[in-house]
Amino acid sequence: MDEYNFSFTMEELLTPKEAGKLLGVSTRTIQRWDKEGLIRVIRTPKGRRRIPKSEVLRLLKEKLNDRRAVIYARVSSQRQNRDGNLKRQKERLLKFAEENNYEVVKVFQDVASGINDRRKNFWKMLSYVKENGIPYVIVEFPDRLTRFGLSFVEKLLEEYGAKLVVAEKKMSKDKMEELVEDLITIITSFTARIYGARSQKFKKVKKLLEEELEGS
């Protein structure tokens, strides 16, 4: 952060909000970059942050040239993993990244429901993006990240200075199957709470759901 007489500068100065809008990040990210010494900031006589326009242009140029990305792939079940769905998903994403000039630095994957908020590699991916300033996260479909609360995850990525890139626009044939599996996960969870995980009623319902899934 530069300390000099604010009144003598002839360069256009931007507020953190204005700079963040141009850079595609939040005001909080600008403040964090200032604390970490990643952006040149000066202070007004009243101590307010101002960012020289030349600094914003410098960062924009760097951002345009920075094509680093991570891939996040997910399938809902071990059955889909055994069938090769996860492997093919990663192959499609790597091909997409190559065709669109992204530099893939790491691939993260999970075999878990999209409603599971304890996915180990999902959280590892977010930490990696934050710690390494990765500008892009590539997924095949938005629900690969999460079934619910996507706007929250996108906001979190924005706080980290990253953008979500969705490779596919059309629904795949496996989408309905995965949705059924996630719904079954929800039903199983609620049934366990109602009847108790050790009760015969719960075991009967769980067996019926598993048979339905196997037959789908």
Which letter does DSSP use for residue 172 in this model?
P
Q: At what angle do helices 200-215 and 175-195 cross, to 10 degrees?
A: 170
Q: How far apart are CA 210 and CA 213, in angstroms?
A: 5
- The answer to whether the beta carbons of residues 54 and 41 sit under 8 Å apart is no
Provide the token pair at 196: 């108790």
Residue 18's φ and ψ, nearest 5 degrees, are: -65, -45
CB atoms within 10 A of CB 64: 9
- The answer to whether the beta carbons of residues 97 and 84 sit under 8 Å apart is no
Which residues are tagged catalytic? Answer: 76
